[in-house]
Amino acid sequence: MSHESIRAVDYTTEKGAEKKLLIIPTDNPLRDIIKPPEGPRVYRERLGAEISGKAIDDIFFYRQDPQEAEFEHSEFDHLKMGGLWTIGHHYTKQAIEMAQHGHDFATFVPNFNYPVLRPLYDSQLRKSPYIWHAKNGLQVAKAVLRHTGKDKLRISGHSYAGHTVTHLVSHKPKLFESVVLEDPSGPTTHDVKPVELVQKELLPALQIMGEDLHMLPPNTKERSIRRITDHGIHAGRELIGLKTIRPDFRKNLKEMRDAGVPVGLLLLSRSAIFNAVHMRAVAERENMFDLIDEVDEYHIAPNIRPASVNETERDMFDQLAA
């Protein structure tokens, strides 16, 4: 392997230090080695899956390098479903940190390229704009399980994924061991604080996510935009749906738990999008979750500084399993 084939990209650590991350190709064209500035290196493999005969883009599977293993390997693979109009690449830092701690971690870019008239003859899609993302997630979950030979996944969902994860798991509970929802849509309405949202969430997120693009395929930015523009009607329905309390969230959540899949709520107490105190009060009053925990972070933390979120989430998954 030539020295020139190794890519060095800028990487902002949790403490704000500017360092370099190395992306090292291997003899397998579907696999790279990622060497972060801190901690053991990880493998990133590209998996394949389809929905309605069309490829789901860039399914990435992260796993710690066994030659540098510092943590015991987890029994369960971990599937990530992301927030509104984001794609799996925006959780790269979370994926790397989880893999470094022995948790195989999968992200993906959902494919929304379906006929504009499909909701007319697809009753599920007509009823909920979140079901198509959930169907993407189902195919990715199956691809991960095929790849590792395991029987079940753990799944986490951030923000808008409160709807997509609960759709997915309620329909296919046998594929999932447990669920953690990170500051999810569903339990309560949004409580946006505009100034704090811009200053504390969006501006730092744009900076860090911009750095993440250098770790990923060159078309990542285009796909982020096309996530909205390829199907504007669908994107609009997603946004409108988040502004109300949808009864399908509670229905799906109950079906998941009735099927024996424990569910945890991870609150991000500084969120400028949800009121953590209100969400906790509603969740406890309605006995919506098997476990509730909290991290002193902003809503965008899983995207840009995930270490404290991941640490709490790993502990929550272990408690839910117990």
Neighbours of 207 (CB within 10 A): 11
Strand partners, 277: none
Neighbouring C-alpha atoms within 13 Å toward the C-beta of 127: 10
Average pLDDT score over residue span 209-213: 72
pLDDT at 172: 97
Average pLDDT score over residue span 30-57: 93
The domain tally of the chain equals: 1
CA dihedral 131, 137, 141, 147 (to 10 degrees): 140
By residue range, what is the domain housing residue 180? Answer: 3-321
Classify strands 263-268 and 176-182 as parallel, antiparallel or unpaired: parallel
- Give residue 269's Cα distance to chain centre: 19
pTM attached to this predicted model: 0.93
Confidence of residue 3 (pLDDT cuts 50, 70, 90): low
Average pLDDT score over residue span 172-196: 93
Confidence of residue 4 (pLDDT cuts 50, 70, 90): low
CATH of the domain at 301: 3.40.50.1820
Average pLDDT score over residue span 112-127: 84
Neighbours of 52 (CB within 10 A): 12
Confidence of residue 175 (pLDDT cuts 50, 70, 90): very high
Q: How far apart are the first and last CA of the chain?
A: 46
Confidence of residue 187 (pLDDT cuts 50, 70, 90): very high
Average pLDDT score over residue span 86-90: 79
CA distance 196 to 11: 25
Higher pLDDT, residue 193 or 280: 280
CA distance 104 to 87: 18
pLDDT digits (tens, 9 = 90+) for 188-202: 988 888 898 899 888
Average pLDDT score over residue span 36-55: 93
